[in-house]
Amino acid sequence: MNNSKPKAVITGIAGYVPDYVLTNEELAHMVDTTDEWIMTRIGIRERRILKDPKKGTSDIGAEAVKRLFEKTQTRPEEVDLLVWCGVSADMICPATANIIADKAGVKNAFGFDINAGCSSFLFALITLVPFIETGRCKKIVLVGAEKLSAYVDYTDRATCPLFGDGAAAVLIEPTEDNLGFMDSIARVDGSGRKYLNIKAGGSLMPSTVETIMRRQHYIYQEGQAVFKAAVSNMADTSVELMERNGLAADDIAWLIPHQANLRIISATGNRMGLPKEKVMINIDRYGNTSSATVPLCLWDFESQLKRGDNLIIATFGAGYTWGAIYLKWAYDGIRDLSKGLTGGI
Ligand code: UT7
């Protein structure tokens, strides 16, 4: 027992990905590329796409939240705070958190959006922990959800293989045990904005016929510059976090890296001295889903997690934004209270 302030722990996780599978073979009919190039240079075999033109990020986000409620047997009215994080907001205004709350039946909560590029989930977790530690909130829902296909230029072979759609949500609650969020490092460097951005549609460059003709509403990326910054910053931050918490590679059960490129993931794991068996990887099936990559990994690997496992989350994204979190996982295996699986909490 720990008699100090409560700690914030993740007590449930649920994901949702759209049904449509966009394979490398199909992409090779759309642009000049091959399955071999994409697998070798990025490590993606397929990604999910939300095809229904009437649906947006909030629809897949709300689906993940409803599944989370089912799994954790949480009533929507019990939620104090609901946060959506990501880059593909339904609209400029209002916040996507409001729309997800409405679609998932959350009535007694406040909420807001956090956009930190592909580090959105990491930045949001860091932001939300004090709401639990101070006692301000008892149940927080954080959902990372993206319909990136709305911003991908499917005539640009340099970016269209990279991104996919998907969502995953976590429930964050207090505990008196020495589990949950231990430490974190997060940084921004806005000078990196020129290498990865969506230029038009905001106040700096409002939408015009010209911005549409110049294809400035799509994701723009200078891949090599972003690649170099991602490798060095994700690895440096993770190693710094290990050192200042006295963690050796053997002490870490899992690295959960942002899924942007298999080579970036491998480089980060190698710098931390981790064998590949300790690195969560699902980029081959979903591609880069920005804010959803980390929670989709936790969802996919939930059955293999154990109470007390030391986890490191590491991300890098547009902005630039990057960082790492050290946390101790709170339960054993799959926690699905609707099926009587307590997850050993
Ligand atoms: O999540 C947010 C953070 N984002 C990232 O971390 C992404 C970081 N960047 C990357 O992952 C990589 O830079 C990419 C996967 C985007 C690109 O890989 P690369 O190894 O850096 O390729 P490159 O851009 O240097 O291009 C190498 C060659 C070029 O041809 P030439 O000029 O050498 O003839 C490209 O035109 O590969 C060509 N190329 C392609 N060829 C086949 C670019 N895209 C493709 C493609 N298929 N899809």
> Does ligand 1 have an atom closer than 6 angstroms to the CB of 37?
yes
Q: Are 153 and 218 in contact (CB under 8 A)?
A: yes
Identify the pLDDT of residue 4: 77
> Does ligand 1 have an atom closer than 6 angstroms to the CB of 33?
yes
Identify the pLDDT of residue 3: 57
> Does ligand 1 have an atom closer than 6 angstroms to the CB of 148?
no
- For residue 288, indicate whether it is catalytic: yes
CA 222 to centroid of ligand 1, rounded, Å: 8
**From 115, 261, 288, 297, active-site residue:** 288
181-333 is classed in which CATH architecture?
3-Layer(aba) Sandwich (3.40)
Identify the pLDDT of residue 344: 86
DSSP string over 178-218: S-EEEEEEEEE-GGGGGTEE--SSSSSS---HHHHHTTTTS
Angle between helical axes of 293-300 and 120-133 (0-180°, round to 10): 80
Identify the pLDDT of residue 345: 81
Looking at the CA of residue 261, tell me the nearest atom of ligand 1: 11
> Does ligand 1 have an atom closer than 6 angstroms to the CB of 4?
no
Q: Where in the chain is the domain with CATH 3.40.47.10?
A: 7-178, 181-333
Atom 24 of ligand 1, nearest CA residue: 223
- For residue 3, indicate whether it is catalytic: no
Rounded to whole angstroms, the maximal C-alpha distance in the chain is 62
> Does ligand 1 have an atom closer than 6 angstroms to the CB of 27?
no
Identify the pLDDT of residue 189: 97
CA 234 to centroid of ligand 1, rounded, Å: 19
Cα 247 to Cα 235: distance, rounded to the nearest angstrom = 15
> Does ligand 1 have an atom closer than 6 angstroms to the CB of 283?
no
Q: Are 112 and 97 in contact (CB under 8 A)?
A: yes
According to DSSP H, which parts of the chain are helical?
24-30, 35-41, 57-72, 96-104, 120-133, 209-213, 223-244, 262-271, 283-286, 293-300
Ordered per-residue pLDDT tens for the chain, 345 residues: 545 789 999 999 999 999 999 999 999 999 999 999 999 999 999 999 999 999 999 999 999 999 999 999 999 999 999 999 999 999 999 999 999 999 999 999 999 999 999 999 999 999 999 999 999 999 999 999 999 999 999 999 999 999 999 999 999 999 999 999 999 999 999 999 999 999 999 999 999 999 999 999 999 999 999 999 999 999 999 999 999 999 999 999 999 999 999 999 999 999 999 999 999 999 999 999 999 999 999 999 999 999 999 999 999 999 999 999 999 999 999 999 999 999 988
Beta strands at 140-147 and 254-257: parallel, antiparallel or unpaired: unpaired
CA 155 to centroid of ligand 1, rounded, Å: 15
CA 157 to centroid of ligand 1, rounded, Å: 9
- For residue 29, indicate whether it is catalytic: no
CA 7 to centroid of ligand 1, rounded, Å: 42
> Does ligand 1 have an atom closer than 6 angstroms to the CB of 126?
no
Looking at the CA of residue 258, tell me the nearest atom of ligand 1: 1
The CATH number fitting domain 7-178, selected from 3.40.47.10, 2.60.40.1250, 2.40.50.220, 3.10.450.50: 3.40.47.10
3-state helix, strand, coil in the chain (%, to 5): 35, 25, 35
End-to-end CA distance of the chain: 14
